[in-house]
Amino acid sequence: MSDDQPVPDTTAGPTLHLDLREPHRHLVGVSLRFTPRTLQPELRLPAWTPGSYLIRDYVRCLEGLEVRQGEAAIPARRLGAACWGLSLACLDPVVVRYRIQATELSVRTCHLTADHGFLALAGVALQVSGERWHPHRLTLELPGGWQAFVPLPGAGDGSWEATDFDRLIDSPIEVGPHPCHPFRVAGVPHRWVSWGGDLPAQDPAWLADVERVALACCDLMGVAAPASEDYLFVLHLLDAGYGGLEHDHSSVLQFGRRALAAPEGRRKLLQLVAHEYLHQWNVRRLRPAELTPIDYDRVAIVPGLWFAEGVTSYLDQLLPLAAGVGTEKDLLEDLGADLSRYLLTPGRHVQGLRQSAEEAWVKLYRQDASSPDSQISYYLKGAVVALMLDLHLRRHGSCLALVLRCLWRSHGAWGRGYHQEDLITAFADQVPDLAGLLPHWLESTDDPDLAGYLADVGLKLVPEPASEGFLGWQLEEGSAGPMLLRRVHRSGPAERARLQAGDELLAFDGQRLRRPDDLAAFVAPSRQGELLYCRDGRVRTTRLTPDPPAVARWRLVIDPLLDDERAREKRQRWLSLQP
């Protein structure tokens, strides 16, 4: 009836307004408006962002929080490090204002400068209790000449609308005077935005290749079109750096300009594109049960991260070739580099694959000098096990792509989270002996039968010995400055000589050591001698006896003894991802 009092529209959900008009101050002005549903709402800032398994305590960048209801200031009582409670007298709209310091440049943090802005909204948007599953509106105020690139549908009035809080914080925001390149994948609109260099302008074939790789991802998943209905790529081209983060409707990529200029740079970036794009299915929509729904306040133990990241890391190397970009030679080199890295990581005999996934939060994302001796990345070993799985399945007439498609149909397409047992069942449904073999690969710290599986496709791993004796240490990078030990290998010559990370090398057998090259000149060939070094400001001596040269790297090559027509055909089908 027309003369009723207007009732507040509580279904509308919160509005997040971000003021970015003074980018040189690196401060984002935030105001969050909502109509409370209870008299005691709580406000919480996420502690981490999905896809990056580390408690980041984003609240360290939040300052100046104040709450108003109409003219009245409302005290915000701190209930936890990133949580506030309000006590209201009525349900009138509330406005929360605060600032976010945006000075950290990564794919999962906030960075606002005179050149651009990037916001990972997990570090910006307070979650209002009871509002998580309601629509959230986003509005932005930008410096003159800047545009916003947001993977959310526009609401028609210059604002954007997220179906719920999860969708909001799954939407990274890039702002700046950047060019934007629209293109389509299977008819679905896509945008490419780069900061730090306009890649599609510099490389006219770039977007066509990205489109090919995106289509290869769709083929792999057995679908006609991408899962997103509107997709945004954001690339930060930096002097140096590497990273990517997946979202339902976007990817954020960081890549070094110098790395891009290297001969393998373009294909490495295309692999990163393939990786994050495939995550659109694997991990975002085909999601571990432990992340369904996501708890933004605390750690979630996710045993299936080996599948989410390992399988994606394995496939990202094959997808460009499957898309018709690149050569078999380059692909074998890249696969060989991963296998080599795996075989040269002693920590694989300490930490199993499931354990690596479960310890992501405290190990992979918190590396130190001893990490290579005590852990193995679930990306790296996950990719090695994915390769073994693919070749095992192919021995029996199936392949990894078919398992992914089955899991997509049974879980991903329905938003049903999977457990570790579901993964094992999906593999065993294709080849029954994987019901025993896969759990063994997940638990064991022994190497799988790499040589046997590679022989199926006419390949073998060949060791390349180092030219010098093995000292069992790694130096801090940088040719200038003191020669500091970054890492001392477990059970190696340096450890036997009682050296430790942080020690500064001074001289060997009376010869001054000034730069890494001096080691080759004085220490090699393998002979023992007296090493002068400095620890904690005190100069000391020790006897150092190098071991014989170790394997410097492994190369993946075609084995002429195995390379018959059958192996060639199998290899060609495998590398082009054909079942």
In the complex with Zn ion, the residue whose CB is nearer, 59 or 380, is 380
Rounded to a whole number of angstroms, the minimum distance from the CB of residue 243 to Zn ion is 10
Taking the C-alpha atoms of residue 323 and residue 331, their distance in angstroms, rounded to an integer, is: 13
| 417 three-class SS | coil
In the complex with Zn ion, the residue whose CB is nearer, 18 or 227, is 227
Rounded to a whole number of angstroms, the minimum distance from the CB of residue 357 to Zn ion is 13
Q: Which DSSP letter does residue 413 get?
A: G
In the complex with Zn ion, the residue whose CB is nearer, 126 or 283, is 283
In the complex with Zn ion, the residue whose CB is nearer, 170 or 309, is 309
Sign of CA dihedral 294, 299, 300, 302: positive
Query: What does DSSP say about strands 242-246 and 529-535: parallel, antiparallel, or unpaired?
Result: unpaired
Rounded to a whole number of angstroms, the minimum distance from the CB of residue 165 to Zn ion is 23
Rounded to a whole number of angstroms, the minimum distance from the CB of residue 371 to Zn ion is 19
Q: Which stretch binds Zn ion (CB under 5 A): 308-316, 485-493, 522-530, 542-550?
A: 308-316
Tokens of 275: 């990786």
Helix-helix angle 328-343:312-322, to 10 degrees:
170
| 567 three-class SS | helix
Rounded to a whole number of angstroms, the minimum distance from the CB of residue 52 to Zn ion is 10
Q: Which stretch binds Zn ion (CB under 5 A): 113-121, 214-222, 254-262, 305-313?
A: 305-313
Q: Which stretch binds Zn ion (CB under 5 A): 111-119, 302-310, 429-437, 532-540?
A: 302-310
Select from 58, 74, 67, 161 the least CA-distant residue to 119: 58
In the complex with Zn ion, the residue whose CB is nearer, 378 or 427, is 378
Rounded to a whole number of angstroms, the minimum distance from the CB of residue 278 to Zn ion is 8
Query: In terms of DSSP H, where are the helices of 492-536?
Result: 493-496, 516-522
Query: Per-residue x/- mask for Zn ion, residues 327 to 356, rule CB under 5 A?
Result: ------------------------------
Query: What does DSSP say about strands 231-238 and 250-256: parallel, antiparallel, or unpaired?
Result: parallel
In the complex with Zn ion, the residue whose CB is nearer, 178 or 279, is 279
- What does the H/E/C string look like for 118-164? EECHHHCCCEECCCCCCCEEEEEECCCCCEEECCCCECCCCCEEECC
Query: Per-residue x/- mask for Zn ion, residues 157 to 196, rule CB under 5 A?
Result: ----------------------------------------
Taking the C-alpha atoms of residue 535 and residue 114, their distance in angstroms, rounded to an integer, is: 43
Question: Exposed (0-12), middle (13-18) or buried (19+): which is 481, by Cβ within 10 Å?
Answer: exposed
Tokens of 501: 């990370």
Query: Per-residue x/- mask for Zn ion, residues 508 to 527, rule CB under 5 A?
Result: --------------------
In the complex with Zn ion, the residue whose CB is nearer, 27 or 315, is 315
Q: Which stretch binds Zn ion (CB under 5 A): 293-301, 309-317, 429-437, 521-529?
A: 309-317
Select from 109, 166, 97 the least CA-distant residue to 136: 166
Select from 164, 169, 128 the least CA-distant residue to 151: 169
Q: Which stretch binds Zn ion (CB under 5 A): 76-84, 166-174, 193-201, 307-315?
A: 307-315
Collect all residues with Cβ–Cβ distance below 8 Å to 401 and sequence separation of at least 6.
220, 221, 222, 577, 579
Rounded to a whole number of angstroms, the minimum distance from the CB of residue 206 to Zn ion is 21
Is 331 in contact with 270 (CB distance < 8 Å)? no
Rounded to a whole number of angstroms, the minimum distance from the CB of residue 97 to Zn ion is 35
In the complex with Zn ion, the residue whose CB is nearer, 360 or 523, is 360
Beta bridge mates, 237: 255
Beta bridge mates, 91: none
Residue appearing with tokens 């130096």? 475
How big is the site for Zn ion, counted in residues (CB under 5 A)?
A: 1
In the complex with Zn ion, the residue whose CB is nearer, 309 or 334, is 309
241: left (phi over 0), alpha (psi -120 to 50) or beta: left
Query: Per-residue x/- mask for Zn ion, residues 261 to 300, rule CB under 5 A?
Result: ----------------------------------------
In the complex with Zn ion, the residue whose CB is nearer, 166 or 309, is 309
Report residue 431 CA to chain centroid gap. 30
Rounded to a whole number of angstroms, the minimum distance from the CB of residue 312 to Zn ion is 5
Rounded to a whole number of angstroms, the minimum distance from the CB of residue 188 to Zn ion is 21
User: Which residue's Cβ lies closest to Zn ion?
Assistant: 309
Q: Considering only CA atoms, give the Rg of the chain.
A: 27
Query: Per-residue x/- mask for Zn ion, residues 60 to 99, rule CB under 5 A?
Result: ----------------------------------------
Rounded to a whole number of angstroms, the minimum distance from the CB of residue 10 to Zn ion is 38
Select from 131, 422, 123 the least CA-distant residue to 290: 422
Q: Which stretch binds Zn ion (CB under 5 A): 306-314, 431-439, 553-561, 569-577?
A: 306-314
Select from 323, 201, 330, 331 the least CA-distant residue to 273: 323
In the complex with Zn ion, the residue whose CB is nearer, 131 or 309, is 309
Rounded to a whole number of angstroms, the minimum distance from the CB of residue 309 to Zn ion is 5
Taking the C-alpha atoms of residue 43 and residue 296, their distance in angstroms, rounded to an integer, is: 12
Q: Which stretch binds Zn ion (CB under 5 A): 60-68, 289-297, 303-311, 430-438?
A: 303-311
Rounded to a whole number of angstroms, the minimum distance from the CB of residue 126 to Zn ion is 27
According to CB under 5 A, which residues from 366 to 395 bind Zn ion?
none
In the complex with Zn ion, the residue whose CB is nearer, 216 or 488, is 216
Rounded to a whole number of angstroms, the minimum distance from the CB of residue 136 to Zn ion is 26
In the complex with Zn ion, the residue whose CB is nearer, 268 or 489, is 268
Q: Which residues bind Zn ion (CB under 5 A)?
A: 309
